[in-house]
Amino acid sequence: MRFEGGWSRVGGWLGLALCLGLLGAALDQFHVQAELLSYPQSLLLDQAAWVPLNFAVLLTTLLAATIPLGRIADARGVPVPGGRRLAAGLAWFVAAYGLSGLIAPEAPAALAAAYVAVWVPRVARRPDRALLYPFGFALALAGCLVEAAEIELGWFSYADPDVIGVPFWLAGIYLHGAPLALDVARLVDGAGLLGRPVSTYRA
């Protein structure tokens, strides 16, 4: 499906943002219910009312910022992600979130090490690994810094932070989110949400 015309693209971005906001809020429940983080003012299921909007803005911005990297993958002949790879990437990301809720309270250091130990060979099997290794580390750093800024503003807090208000294992979730972010960004670009001409992207 391609989005043609300005209003069509706006609707596409809004629909994407809605889905990402709901997904982010749902995954955040792993941390909330495990008491890994808390909000000073909660509305539903111990989450603040603005949580879905926060995830919608941040994740949609992330995808838009990742599109240029996806175009580099296109130029290098990396196959466009299909449904199976997209589903696998989502499963990895959800599993990474879920494991944090189970393991972080008792073994945070082991969890942080396990994230990296699994991520490195996982990415090594992908044809876009040369892009994903630096992107993954950049996303992990940027994600932790954004959360640190929100913590500094008093929006939420982690129960056992290690540095700048965030726990070390948090970076591992961003690492496992990087492959999914790149794949989704390429699909978003192929759908024409930035108005990319049909002739410039590969089938």
Q: What is the pLDDT of residues 36-82, one digit of tens each?
A: 999 998 888 999 999 999 999 999 999 999 999 999 999 999 999 99
Cβ neighbours for 135, distance < 8 A, ≥ 6 positions apart: 66, 69, 178, 182
pTM above 0.85, yes or no: yes
Q: Which spans in 76-152 are helix H?
A: 83-103, 108-124, 129-152
Under DSSP, the state recorded for 79 is P
Q: Which pLDDT band, with edges at 50, 70 and 90, does 198 fall under?
A: very low
Rounded to 10 degrees, the C-alpha dihedral 51/94/100/32 comes to: 30
Per-residue confidence (pLDDT) for residue 10, from 0 to 100: 81
Cβ neighbours for 58, distance < 8 A, ≥ 6 positions apart: 24, 146
For residue 111, with 0-12 CB atoms within 10 Å meaning exposed, 13-18 middle and 19 or more buried, which class applies? buried
**Size of the chain in residues:** 203
Per-residue confidence (pLDDT) for residue 5, from 0 to 100: 57
Cβ atoms of residues 179 and 126 within 8 Å: yes
Per-residue confidence (pLDDT) for residue 202, from 0 to 100: 40
List, for residues 88-130, the tens digit of each pLDDT value. Answer: 999 999 999 999 999 999 999 999 999 999 999 999 999 999 9
Cβ atoms of residues 38 and 159 within 8 Å: yes
What three-state secondary structure class fits 157? strand
